[in-house]
Structures are given as structure tokens and as C-alpha cells.
Amino acid sequence: MNPLLNKLFLYYPATAFTGEFHFLYQGLYRSQQYQSSDGLFRYQLQKFTALLGHAVHHKPYYRRILPADAHLDCSQIHTPEDFQRFYNALPLLTKQDLIGHHQELSGEVHLSSRIKTTGGSTGEPVKLYKNASALARERVATALSYEWAGIQVGAKQARFWGIPHSNRAKFLARITDLVANRYRLSAFDMTDADMAGYYRHLLVVKPAYLYGYVSAIRLFANYIKQTNLAPLPSLKAVITTSEVLSELDRHDIEQGFAVKVFNEYGCGEVGSIAHECEQGALHVMASNLLVQVERDGITYNHGTGEIVLTDLHNYATPLIRYKLGDYATLAPGGCSCGRGLPVLSRVHGRAYDIIHTPEGRSIHPEAIIYIFEKMQEQRAVFKQFQVLQDRLDHLTIRIIPTANFNNAIGRDIQLAVRNKISPTIQITLELVNTIVREKSGKLRVVKRQLTADDNRLPMANTQRS
Ligand SMILES: [Zn+2]
């Protein structure tokens, strides 16, 4: 559909019908991206104080764990240093808290709030509510960040995503896709025959941009390049999401589609957290979120640590100092694009993807991904891979091979991984046709799935008799 018609006659009316009034925030957010860090601090402090007041008055969980006048103390704060001290005295909220105290955190929820179910990748679904104005703000911030990629509201999107199973879910997905002007392609079905069909369809659909999982889009980009197809002429940008985008991912995708890649970083609980600008900086959606990093129980507004965030406008299930499980490096704002929004200089991925060795060391997943990327750089030997730690002393490496793959390469991979992790680790190499995605649709390239017995962290200094 024509983007302007879609925007005026479908997208805005449909979202307004559900109580989301985007026009209330568009001007504000547009100007806010260029605000100084001081201006952003004042805005966030005001919104945070109001949210805290609502939480202690209306949500049993916060009433139980916070002082009744916490928001009054917060309203007396004027400097970032004082706020940081105050913020650090508040308890952290973990995913387990959100799962275990979902009702108590939400209390009585307004009818216009919508339920969000997310977190399939951890195996435990997380449930929360989000009020309509918070949803509107989330969508406005996301739409604004798409403008950085040259994509306007209503532009045609081709989306590599999951396809629902049940008829009802399929029908709802079709309606959402129609309203959002999307064409959906299954990220779960990526054989050469599937991709040949996708390419033919996309020539007709003429999407302005591709959106979806890094791994699926890279696979499609490589398919286009290897089969000498022309890049899709309608494309202006590719927006990747949900999985870590490596430099080689970016290179392959930009080669295959001949347009720039813009990475989005987000999560189901709060939506888009950060988005790349024209200069390649991953700017935090600071109009909606207070994002910090935590080290040893203390949160900071700079440096490396586990992401801790507050969703400033979600009054339905308030997330205050919510620990996300992702590690990142946070830098102050200041980018050659002129925006004052803080920058995530690196997103290091999920805590549970770290491999633990029998000797008690922890290996960051990127160290393992690097081995595969290096090998792939010399010669494309696989289409996709997954390293699964299924026992403390055992890894299963799954590879979808290309025609360039041979047994010697398989041995090289095993040797390099063993050198990186531990000489005592056992490895089974499996050549497969597909690698199963998580329920959420994400592909976990380095995955740790130990039995309860193996899941205890080894003690580095304990001698076994
Ligand atoms: Zn920038």
C-alpha cells in the first residue's frame, strides 16, 4: 500500500482506536533527541518521580518494598549525583521477580492496557501490562529512530520473523501486518528454495526496507550474492534486531543488499532500547527509558555492566531498576550526528550465553563467535552455526555446511574451539540442514543448556579428592 495512505487511513486511525495518540509525543521526541544531557536529566527525573509516586501508591509490590514517601524524597533532588545516590538505594528488579510477582507488580490495571508476553528465549515467558500512552510513546520513539535510517511511518516493510501456528494468531498477525504495512517472511524457513521464492515475491512487493533477525537476513543476503541475483531495487535500508550484529554480519548484509544496515537493540518488555543513527552510534531511547549499567549491585550512567533500566511511562506494570540480563557498554551522549541521546558503544549479549569451563573459567560468547567469523572470512564454509554447551565438559557444534566445507575444516574448528575453551572439553560436531530457533524466534548462536546437576558453577579453587 502507498505509505502515505497507509499512515493516514490505517496506521494512525487504528492506533488511535486503541487509545494511542501518537501526535501528542511526536514533536516533543523530535526535539528531545537534540537536547543536552542536562535537559534530558531534568525530563527523566520528573518522569521518574511521577512513576515512583504511582508505584508506591498503586502497586502492592512497590508499596511493600519501598518507603511510602520515596517519591517525595526524589522530588527534592536537583543534581545527577544526588539522583544517582538515590537511585542506587532502590532495589533491583530481576526477571524472576517479574515472573514471580507479576500480579503484585501490576495491581489493578486499566482496561485500555495491553498484555505483553515475552522472553521465550529464556524458556520462561515473562508477562506484563503496558498502558496505551506508554505504547504510543514506544512506537513514536521507534518511528523516529527509523527516520534516521531514512524510513518514514507507513513505508513498506518486509519482515523476517516467526509465522504463528494457530489460525487465530495467524489472522491477528495478518491484521497487524496490514495496519503496519508489512510483508512477513518466515525466518524459520530459510532453505535455498524458500529464499528463491522470497526473492521473487519481494520483487513484486517492493519493500522500502527489510526488518528482522540478523541471522536470517544475513543468510538471505549471502544467498543473493552467491546466486548472482541483483540487490532488491526498492530497498533503502535494512534494520536488524534481536540478535547481536557482528561486523561480518554487517559486511555480508550490506554486500548482499547494497544498502546500509541500521541495528536496533530492544527487548520484549520495553520495546526498542537503542537504535543506530546515520553515523553508526547506537543511541538510547532516553525519552522513554532510563538506561544504566550495573556492576556489583551499583548502577552507573557510563561504563560496562549489565543493563538496568526504568521504563519511564509504563504505569501498568512499572519496571523500576529492571535487570535485563544483557551486558553493554554505555557512553555519554555526543555524536557527530548532533543528537544528545546517550550511546551504547557495545552490546555484549546475554549473561546466560557465557560458556563455563570444567576448570571454572568463563568464556565470553564473542570469543567463540570470533573463531567462526575468522574461518568464514577466509572462505564461506558454513551457512549457520551453533555452539551448544550441553554438559560442563561437552559441547555440540552444529553446522549447516556450504559446498566448501570438508572434514579438515571440521577438525580445524574443533581444535580452535578446544584451544579457546579448555583442553579437556569434549566436542561433537554435527552437520545439519537447519538449526532450531528459540520459541521467541531468536537464534542463539552460543547457547548454554546444562542439566541442573551441571548448572552449578565449578569452584576454581576446590580440590576434588
Ligand atoms: Zn548519532
pLDDT in tens, the chain (465 residues): 788 888 888 888 888 888 888 899 999 999 999 999 999 999 999 999 999 999 999 999 999 999 999 999 999 999 999 999 999 999 999 988 998 999 999 998 887 788 887 754 444 568 899 999 999 999 999 999 999 999 999 999 999 988 777 788 888 888 888 888 999 999 888 889 999 999 999 999 999 999 999 989 999 999 999 999 999 999 999 999 988 888 889 999 999 999 999 999 998 899 999 999 999 999 999 999 999 999 888 999 999 889 999 999 999 999 999 998 888 889 876 799 999 999 998 887 654 467 888 888 878 777 787 788 778 777 788 888 899 999 999 999 999 998 999 999 999 999 999 998 899 999 999 999 988 877 766 778 888 887 655 544 443 333 332
- Own/partner pairs, 277-280, CB within 8 angstroms, 24+ separation: 277/148, 277/335, 277/337, 277/339, 278/148, 278/337, 279/335, 279/336, 279/337
Residue 448 phi/psi, 5-degree rounding, is -115, 120
Q: How far is the CA of 272 from the centre of ligand 1 (A)?
A: 16
List the one residue out of 235, 196, 188 whose CA is nearest residue 213.
Answer: 188
The pLDDT value recorded for residue 351 is 46
Q: How far is the CA of 35 from the centre of ligand 1 (A)?
A: 13
Q: How far is the CA of 254 from the centre of ligand 1 (A)?
A: 20
Kindly report, as residue ranges, where domains of CATH 3.40.50.12780 are found in the chain: 3-350
Q: How far is the CA of 306 from the centre of ligand 1 (A)?
A: 23
Kindly report, as residue ranges, where domains of CATH 3.30.300.30 are found in the chain: 354-448
Q: How far is the CA of 337 from the centre of ligand 1 (A)?
A: 4
Q: Does domain 3-350 correspond to CATH entry 3.40.50.12780? A: yes
The pLDDT value recorded for residue 135 is 95
The stretches of 59-101 forming alpha helices (DSSP H) are 60-65, 70-75, 80-89, 95-100
Pairing verdict, β 382-391 and 446-448: parallel
Q: How far is the CA of 330 from the centre of ligand 1 (A)?
A: 14
The pLDDT value recorded for residue 236 is 97
Q: How far is the CA of 282 from the centre of ligand 1 (A)?
A: 7
The pLDDT value recorded for residue 383 is 85
Answer positive or negative: Cα dihedral of 316, 322, 324, 328.
Answer: positive
Q: How far is the CA of 410 from the centre of ligand 1 (A)?
A: 41
Burial class of residue 322, CB neighbours in 10 A (0-12, 13-18, 19+): buried
CATH of domain 354-448: 3.30.300.30
Length of the chain measured in residues: 465
